[in-house]
Amino acid sequence: MLAIPYYVAGIAGAKGFLALLAGLWPFLLYRVVYQITGSKPWSVVVALTLAFGLPFLAASNQIFPDLLGGMIVLYVAERIVGILR
């Protein structure tokens, strides 16, 4: 997934792509926490906590493909748990 942004815009493109994907973390985390707890207020609190911490994550000066991999694994796990319920 990082190959295309890297090919198009180099390191800056890869970092920008990861920053955009990092913006999706709160939405994914909301879904996961809501499935676990069933509580919308707690899900919002956890998602907002992550969202307020995102500037530190997105402003990193390194390319961390493990964050992308972790996001994919968490999304797939959330979908599988949703199907099994």
* Nearest CA-CA partner of 43 in 59, 32, 58, 57: 32
* Phi then psi dihedrals of residue 61, to 5 deg: -100, 15
Give the residue, 67 or 19, on which the prediction is more confident.
19
Give pLDDT, residue 23. Answer: 78
pLDDT digits (tens, 9 = 90+) for 12-63: 888 888 878 877 888 888 988 898 888 899 899 888 887 777 666 555 556 6
Give pLDDT, residue 26. Answer: 84
pTM over 0.85: no
Give pLDDT, residue 59. Answer: 57
Mean pLDDT of all residues in 61-80 = 76
Q: Give the ranges where the chain is alpha helix by DSSP (H).
A: 3-22, 25-37, 40-58, 65-84
Contacts 24+ apart (CB under 8 A), 27-33: 28/71, 28/74, 28/75, 28/78, 31/78, 32/74, 32/77, 32/78
Is the predicted pLDDT of residue 8 greater than 80, yes or no?
yes
